[in-house]
Amino acid sequence: MSRVKLTVNGQTVSREVPDNTLLSQFLREDLRLTGTHVGCDTSQCGACLVHVDGRAIKACTTLAVSLDGADVTTIEGVANGDDLHPMQTAFNTHHGLQCGFCTPGMVMAGIDIVTRYQAMGQPLTEAAIREELEGNLCRCTGYHNIVKAIADAAQTMSGAAKAAQ
């Protein structure tokens, strides 16, 4: 057992957990943040994507103890109160989901993709979005609208970033 102290969605949390606890287990079972989904549990589907210290990683492929002190954002932490994140709004607008199981990972991936491309100053083309979604599987095969949603949110997020400057 080890004590793990993390900042999750802006709140400090501290728990005593077995050393072999995955971040996905820690979030879902210890913190009851069940928005982070476990789809394949073999590191392939991306449903468990969360942001750790600014990088999108697979919560099912990371030990919670190894992240002691880290800043974690899950799907529960991206909206601002009742105001959805632009990426969530775009998924809604473009119907970027069918069953919804992959959606938390898709939204977290989408935010990460847009943020990285903005930081690199590179245009986010449709081809780039499809390539960047390599690690996120949707078994309803709804990629087309997911790609549209991310492209749309990229415009909104870029406008917001410029307005903030």
Instruction: Enter the tokens of residue 83.
Output: 């105001």
Residue nearer to another protein on the CB measure, 24 or 88: 24
Tell me the per-residue interface mask from 89 to 128 with another protein, x by CB under 8 A, - otherwise. Answer: --------------------x--xx------x--------
Given a contact cutoff of 8 angstroms between Cβ atoms, the answer to whether 165 and 130 are in contact is no
55 or 82, CB closer to another protein?
A: 55
HSE-up (13 A, CA, CB side) for residue 81: 0
With respect to another protein, which residue has the nearer C-beta, 25 or 88?
25
Out of 13, 65, 79, 128, name the contact with another protein by CB under 8 A.
Answer: 65
87 binding another protein? (CB under 8 A):
no
C-alpha distances out from residue 148 to 21, 58, 68, 80, 115, Å: 36, 23, 36, 23, 16
Measured between alpha carbons, how far is 49 from 56 in angstroms, rounded to an integer?
6
* CB of residue 36 to another protein, shortest distance in Å: 13
